[in-house]
Each structure stands twice: as structure tokens, then as C-alpha cells.
A and B are shown apart, each in its own frame.
Chain A
Amino acid sequence: MERNKVLRVAAGTMALASVPVLTAACGGDDNNSNATATTPPQTSGTSAQVQTQATANAIQLFVDSDTVRGSKNLPTGSADGCVQSNLYAKNEQVVFRIRVYDPVSGKQLTADDLESVLVTLKDGTKLDPATYGAHPKTEPNESFWTAAWVIPSNYPTGSVDYTIAAKAKDGRTGTFTQLHFAASAMLAVTDQVRPIIPPTPKP
């Protein structure tokens, strides 16, 4: 049998071609950081068309988020504080770490840029507005938005869906909505109930 070459596929080109788009859609983290743009980014078209679309999308903000365990009700000296997690016992504190970006410039937006960053749970609970600041307080540190939530001892066991809505002072908005997929698993509450530790009285 004679053979004629009809197609060549270069080695190493089998990876997803639209990784940048997918990273933007998923937050790029396999733990629990899943951001969705309000309008899916365009994946085809001429450079001019893409640029036009990007300009149109500039009214939206990119919101990225993950969760870490807060220090509330952790024993003194516990190493679990500020550790990224998506499984929490009741009475534990979930800290939402939030970064909001201008999708065109890539600039991270601060309290000078944003009017509000609000976390809302599926059950309607609205957390106190997120605040912008450095974490930890001493260097080396990094600045981002945070909102905290102590899970009530009678809160339902299971997944906790939430959204984060960011609003800029110039009117632009952006929303983070948690996706359901096994690679991340969603934020969830276990049946464990951590004992409440009263705050230490200050001298």
C-alpha cells in the first residue's frame, strides 16, 4: 500500500488552544477559585473584532476569589489560620479573599477604585462589606479585599453557594459566582461543630 502524507500535526500542539480564556472563566485554580465573567469572552474573530469586544467588556470587572480559614474559634497557636480550604466545621470562620481586576489594564482595584464588594450566600445572608487591606499586617504581605463569616452552629451541612458583587466608583460592575465541578468541589460545611472560644479579655 502506498502512503501519501496528508496532514501534519506538530508535537506539543494538542493542548487546549483557549487556555487564557478558560483561565479567566475558571479563576485558574483547582481548589475553589472560580470566577465567571458576566459575558463569555469571545474566542474567534479578527483582531479588530476581538479588540472591539474587549473594549465593550471593559465596563465589567474581573472578580477572583478563594477562601481561607479565619482565626475565630481556633485554639491559640493553631496552624490552621489563614490556610486555604473549602471544607469548614460549624463555628469556624470563612474568610473570602477577593481580588478585583480591571480586565483591560490588568490593574488590581483598591478602595480608591471600588465603591463596594459584597458577598451574598445562597440562603440570602449578606456579609458585611468586604474591606481592602494588607494581609498579614506586617511585611511581607499582599493587599486584597476580605469578608468574613462565622458559620453558625445550626447552619445546614453541605455546599454553600455564594456570589461576590463588585461595584466600581465609575459604575463598572463584576460578579463572581461559584461553579460546581469536582476538580474544585465547592465551599462546604461539614457536620463538625467547633467549640466556641470566647475572645480573650484585653487587659
Chain B
Amino acid sequence: MTASPIQAGTQGTGADETVGGICPYLGTPGDASQQEEWHTYTAVLDASPYRIQVGDLVSLTGKDYTPGATVEFVWYSVEGHYDVRDHTEFIGQRYAPTTQVVAMAVANDAGEIRASFVTPVDFGGPHDIRARVDRIEVSQSGVLLTPTWEISSVEGPVGADIEIHVEGIDYRTSINTWHVLWDNHYMGMMTGVTTRGVATARFRAAGPAGKHYIAIWNNSYQSTPYLAFFRSPFRDQFEVPIEFVYNVTADNGLPPVSKDDFSAADNPWPVETVGAATLKLSPDRCYVGDAVTLTGAHFPPNTAVDVYWRTAAGDRVNVGGITEYQGRLGTVRTSAAGELSFDFVAPDDLGGSHRMEVKAGEELLAPTCLVIMPKLLSCTSKVKAGEKIHVHLHGTGWSTYENTYAATWDNSYIGYACGFSTQGDMQFHFTATGAPGTHLLDLYPTIYKGADEMPKVYSLPQLTYADDHPERKTPAFRLAVEITE
């Protein structure tokens, strides 16, 4: 059996190929705001009020405009995205400037303007509002957008779903990470990087019955709440902490085990076009052990071709690092019409996108990608306090945003587990604690590590995983354990 080397730079090399000479924090080199021409402001613009929230009405007044001039009011903001190198290595958050016209007015004979607009759903933080006449900015004002918070419900039984929704998370990375405490136990973090400052934390009500206290704190510099925020340099930006009280009404027994079904969005990585040959996988996303059929067309007729599967092995904690492998799944002969059909079983391997290649000898004819999705194999459901709880998943990934799951026990973060060095087979054990009754075990997606030191969002339960996880929408697992007498 032979295998072709993977060309350096095509995947997982870590080679510097996207940056150099420009600031890495800028999303789009050479965007408009970087090239804008400076003009001395010739008019006056006032925006009121200064502190606003999403949906608030902002009034604009001004003077010294050319009578009869049509004035556009431009809202300055940013768009965010996660920078992930080679689809696998998390770098950090990146933002690019954006603008939108939020209101227009015509200056009256005295050169005055008056307009208003509803604050758009957007990042929190300072936003410029600039008046523009004939594409030239003639005046400026600004507002400070602060976050708004709401909780989906304030009572329910053990295991009830709870959502905390926020609009207006700041775009400044120094204050854009929020941490949620449940009864003063760390539960997880909230981010809104790719969602314009909108985030929804999803978790469940943990017992016992009675009142439970939720507090949401801010801190980007460390991965914990900063408790003295009211005296911090950012104390004037927004209120901290945000607090809710949740009443757990009853323990009705174990809620069903569940997992988010994000399969519809779990698309394989795109592949390049090599030649005329095309491939199709059915399905193109599946679990370990599922039957898969690879079909192809426009291949050389009556030719034996090899089907290859690419994967990785290793870890990110030893000097050996990560090794990529390519192995042959089998050989198939194309038809006289240049078509092929190849049945195989999804390998017991790492989760995530696996590149597949069909080759004739050393010649690559066509690539494609198959996604392995994570699956729960088993979890202890009944145990006495002091005994071990065993959790077993497979199909967990190897990239920095899907290689680990963070576990909370009754909404208290207890640690994370990785399945990379065991080819996607993740197992961990811990001791059951607590009074007899229902106890919750939740497994949240994480960002294992990244190049940026700040914000410190690493190896924490990402409660906002459903909307703002890097690269791949990754499911959470909702488990429960009964502790008996």
C-alpha cells in the first residue's frame, strides 16, 4: 500500500500564510474606514440619549448644515468572526469595521436637522454616528450601547430548560466575555462574537427544589468572574453583576438524555475542484459505524482507483504533536461510463471533517469530505453518593474547538475531557456527590486553546455554543444521574 504526502500548507501545517504586514486584528485589510479621507467637520450633531440599549429611540439634532442638503446618518460598528487556521487551530476573535445608514434628514432653511432612529441589534460599546452629505462626513456624535438581559423562565422542575438572552455584548475584547454562576458555582461563559453581540446561554435547572441564584459577571482577562467590577476601570460601561432568581419547583425524576441535533448545519469542509471527476457521499455526515456510500462520475473509464481516508493522531500536550495520516479504505473499478460506487463503514475515528481522496496511482482524481458526529455511548444513570459515574462518547473531534467537552455537575463546572489522543473515544469517570435525588450532568462544547491570550475563553463550558461556537456548530449533551440512598 502506498500513500501520497499531504502538501505542506494544505491542512494543519500552522504555516504563516494569511498574515504579514497587516494587523491581524483587522478583519479585512484595506477596508473603507482605513482609507477614508479626513475632512474637518463643518456642522454640529447631537445624539440623545448617550447611554442606550437595543431598541431605544435615539434623537438626532444639529446645526450648521447647508440648507436643503440631504443628510445621511451613519452608524459605525464592527462585525466579528473567529479566526481559525486550517479549519482546526483557533487563533482568536477578529473584528472588521462596518457602517450602515440609520436615518436621513433634509436640512431646513436655518441649516438645522432633526431625525431619529431605533437602536439596531448590535454590539455594545461606543458607536460613532456621523452625518454625511454628498458622501462627505460633516459632523459626528456618539452613543454608548449597553447590554440588555432577560431570562426565559423563573421557575420549573429539575431539568427544565433555561435560557438567558443578552443583546449588546460589547465588541471590545477587554469586556466582551461574561461568566455565569449558579448558586455561586461557576457554570460557564457567554460570548456573542459572530452574532453582533447577541447571545443565548442554554442550561437546565439543577436541584434541589427551592430558590437558586444566578449571577452573570464580566471578565476577559481571566476565565473567572471579576468580583470587584464596580470599582474596575470599566465600571462606567455597564452594570455588573446581572442577577436572576430561579425557583426549582420539584424533582420529578430523571429528565431524558438529550443532545442538540445540529446535523443539518454540520456541513463537511469544502474541497477544491481537481478535474472533471466528481464525488458524492450518502450520507455526508454520520456516526461511527454508519454505512456510507461514495459515488462518483466523470472518472477515467474501466480504471481501478483507490479510496483514501485522512485523519490525525497525537495530542496538543506532548512534544510529538499532531500527525496526519492518510490510509486506503479500498479499491474500486470505474465503469465504462466513468462512474463508481463504493460502500464502506464510517471508521471508528475522530469526529469532524475527514478528507477523502480518490486516486489512480499517485494521481488525485477527486476529493470530498465526510463528517463524523459525536455520540453518547453510555453514562451511569443510577448510583450512590461516593460511587463512580462513567461517561463514554465517541466521534469527538480533534480540532481546538471540538476536541474537548466541559462537564458541569448540577451546573457547577468540574472539568473537561478530551478524545483526541484516543481517536475520538472519550471516557471519563468521577465521583457522585450530593443528596439522594436527580443530579444533572451537562457536557458543553469548548474552545480548548487559542493563539490570543485575551479574552481568556479557553476550556470553559460555552453556554452560548448553539449560536457562537467557532467553525462548527457542536452539540451539548444533557445527561442526568439519580443518586440513591
Once the chains bind, are B23 and A4 in contact (CB under 8 Å)? no
Interface residue count for B (Cβ, 8 Å)? Answer: 78
* B275 CB within 8 Å of chain A: no
Once the chains bind, are A11 and B316 in contact (CB under 8 Å)? yes
Looking at A140-148, A167-175, A186-194, the stretch in contact with chain B turns out to be A186-194
Contact of B326 among A4, A12, A158, A191 (CB under 8 A): A4
A42 to B21, CA, bound (A): 7
Contact residues, A86-143 vs B (CB, 8 A):
87, 122-124
* B41 CB within 8 Å of chain A: yes
Instruction: For B171, give the chain A residue with the smallest CB separation.
Output: A182
Once the chains bind, are A4 and B327 in contact (CB under 8 Å)? yes
**Secondary structure at chain A's binding surface: helix, strand, loop or mixed?**
loop
Once the chains bind, are A157 and B141 in contact (CB under 8 Å)? yes
A122 to B128, CA, bound (A): 14
A185 to B133, CA, bound (A): 26
Q: Which residues of B contact A6 (CB under 8 A)?
A: 3-6, 324-326
A141 to B20, CA, bound (A): 35
A13 to B95, CA, bound (A): 24
Q: A17-B15, A157-B47 are in contact. Are A181 and B26 (CB under 8 A)?
A: yes
Looking at A19-27, A59-67, A70-78, A195-203, the stretch in contact with chain B turns out to be A19-27
* A9 CB within 8 Å of chain B: yes
Q: A6-B326, A13-B321 are in contact. Are A25 and B25 (CB under 8 A)?
A: no
Once the chains bind, are A3 and B325 in contact (CB under 8 Å)? yes
Contact of A26 among B20, B23, B233 (CB under 8 A): B23
Q: A182-B173, A191-B50 are in contact. Are A4 and B40 (CB under 8 A)?
A: no
Contact of B23 among A5, A8, A17, A181 (CB under 8 A): A181
Contact of A16 among B16, B176, B328 (CB under 8 A): B16
A24 to B207, CA, bound (A): 53
Contact residues, A27-43 vs B (CB, 8 A):
30, 34, 36, 40-43
Q: Which residues of A contact B331 (CB under 8 A)?
A: none
Contact of A25 among B16, B23, B142 (CB under 8 A): B23
Once the chains bind, are A2 and B40 in contact (CB under 8 Å)? no
A123 to B39, CA, bound (A): 6
Once the chains bind, are B24 and A16 in contact (CB under 8 Å)? yes
Once the chains bind, are B454 and A30 in contact (CB under 8 Å)? yes
Interface residue count for A (Cβ, 8 Å)? Answer: 52
Contact of A185 among B126, B328, B347 (CB under 8 A): B126
Q: Which residues of B contact A16 (CB under 8 A)?
A: 16, 19, 24, 91, 451
Once the chains bind, are B1 and A9 in contact (CB under 8 Å)? no
Once the chains bind, are B326 and A41 in contact (CB under 8 Å)? no
A158 to B5, CA, bound (A): 54
Contact of A159 among B2, B128, B171 (CB under 8 A): B128
Instruction: For A191, give the chain B residue with the smallest CB separation.
Output: B50
A41 to B34, CA, bound (A): 18
Looking at A18, A22, A158, the one whose CB has the most chain B CB atoms below 10 A away is A158
Instruction: For B41, give the chain A residue with the smallest CB separation.
Output: A123
Once the chains bind, are A18 and B20 in contact (CB under 8 Å)? yes
* B45 CB within 8 Å of chain A: yes
* A58 CB within 8 Å of chain B: no
* B202 CB within 8 Å of chain A: no
Q: Which residues of A contact B16 (CB under 8 A)?
A: 16-18, 43
Once the chains bind, are A7 and B13 in contact (CB under 8 Å)? yes
Total residue contacts A-B, CB cutoff 8 A: 186
Q: Which residues of A contact B328 (CB under 8 A)?
A: 1-2
Once the chains bind, are B20 and A43 in contact (CB under 8 Å)? yes
Bitwise, B9-22 to A at CB < 8 A (1) or not (0) is 00011111001111
Q: A2-B328, A6-B326, A10-B319 are in contact. Are A15 and B451 (CB under 8 A)?
A: yes
Once the chains bind, are A183 and B19 in contact (CB under 8 Å)? no
Q: Which residues of B contact A1 (CB under 8 A)?
A: 309, 327-329, 347
* A152 CB within 8 Å of chain B: no
Once the chains bind, are A11 and B34 in contact (CB under 8 Å)? no
Q: How far is the CB of A12 from chain B (nearest CB, A)?
A: 7
Once the chains bind, are A40 and B325 in contact (CB under 8 Å)? no
* B111 CB within 8 Å of chain A: no
Once the chains bind, are A183 and B25 in contact (CB under 8 Å)? yes
Q: Which residues of B contact A156 (CB under 8 A)?
A: 41, 44-45, 139-142
Once the chains bind, are B26 and A190 in contact (CB under 8 Å)? no
A150 to B400, CA, bound (A): 47
Q: A7-B8, A10-B321 are in contact. Are A30 and B174 (CB under 8 A)?
A: yes
A163 to B130, CA, bound (A): 20
A22 to B323, CA, bound (A): 29
Once the chains bind, are B323 and A2 in contact (CB under 8 Å)? no
A7 to B127, CA, bound (A): 47
Q: Which residues of A contact B167 (CB under 8 A)?
A: none
A92 to B16, CA, bound (A): 43
Bitwise, B85-99 to A at CB < 8 A (1) or not (0) is 100010101010100
Q: Which residues of A contact B21 (CB under 8 A)?
A: 21, 25, 40-43
Looking at B126, B309, B318, the one whose CB has the most chain A CB atoms below 10 A away is B126
Contact residues, B110-149 vs A (CB, 8 A):
125-130, 139-144
A1 to B330, CA, bound (A): 8
What are the 8 closest A-B residue pairs judged by CB atoms, nearest first? A158-B142, A40-B21, A17-B16, A43-B20, A11-B321, A191-B50, A182-B95, A4-B3
**New A-B pairs, 6, CB < 8 Å, besides A179-B26, A183-B173:** A1-B309, A44-B20, A87-B126, A156-B140, A181-B97, A191-B144
* Chain A to chain B contacts (Cβ below 8 Å), 28 pairs: A1-B327, A4-B325, A5-B324, A7-B5, A7-B13, A8-B321, A8-B324, A10-B321, A11-B319, A12-B321, A30-B173, A122-B38, A124-B38, A154-B44, A156-B140, A157-B50, A158-B129, A158-B130, A158-B140, A159-B128, A159-B142, A179-B25, A180-B97, A182-B93, A182-B171, A182-B176, A190-B50, A191-B50
Interface residues in chain B, defined as those with a beta carbon under 8 Å from any beta carbon in chain A? 1-6, 8, 12-16, 19-26, 33-34, 38, 40-41, 44-45, 47, 50, 76, 78, 80, 85, 89, 91, 93, 95, 97, 125-130, 139-144, 171-174, 176, 233, 309, 311, 313-329, 347, 451, 454
